[in-house]
Amino acid sequence: MTRTAYAHRTDPETTHEPETTQEREAAQEREAAREPEAARSARAGRRIRRDADGLAVASFVLGLVGLLVMNILLGPAAIVMALVALARSTTRRGRAYLGLALGVADLVILAFLVTGSGVVAWDFGG
């Protein structure tokens, strides 16, 4: 059921609109006190998992791109993001492990390139 503008104006709970910042903050605190603690923690847990899922995907992408370019920067970044995602209990554990493996592979490729040519650069020529 939707509320009409008249019903919203005449409802005693909604007739007073907070005018100052202090009144708004007090109203927000009252609303937060009404919300059960379990709902707040569940919402925060979902947000942390969603952030961890994003980190897992980002570590995979950075590790994959790092195989081709800038492996000195993207490899360690992929490793750190994968470890953070795993620490935050991501639902995309496989992608985080792939990002971790690709980050390590970036560093291994860098080590081979440095020992082979003595320079931190790709060299396709002879």
Digit-coded pLDDT (tens) for 67-88: 998 888 999 999 999 999 999 8
Asked if the model's pLDDT at residue 100 lies above 90, the reply is: yes
Specify the higher pLDDT residue, 110 or 45.
Answer: 110
What does the pLDDT read at residue 85? 92
Mean pLDDT score of the chain, rounded to an integer?
A: 78
pLDDT in tens, 12-57: 555 555 567 777 777 777 766 666 665 556 565 666 667 788 899 9
The CA distances from residue 93 to 75, 119, 126, in Å, are 18, 35, 41
Which tokens go with 115? Answer: 């020992």
Measured CA to CA, the distance from residue 49 to residue 76 in angstroms comes to: 22
Specify the higher pLDDT residue, 119 or 7.
Answer: 119
What does the pLDDT read at residue 10? 58
CB 37 within 8 A of CB 66: no
What does the pLDDT read at residue 74? 94
CB 18 within 8 A of CB 29: no
Position of tokens 């390139």? 113
Report the predicted TM-score, pTM, of the whole model to 2 decimal places: 0.60
Residues near 92 by beta carbon (within 8 Å), at least 6 away in sequence: 53, 56, 57, 85
Position of tokens 């991501």? 90
What does the pLDDT read at residue 103? 96
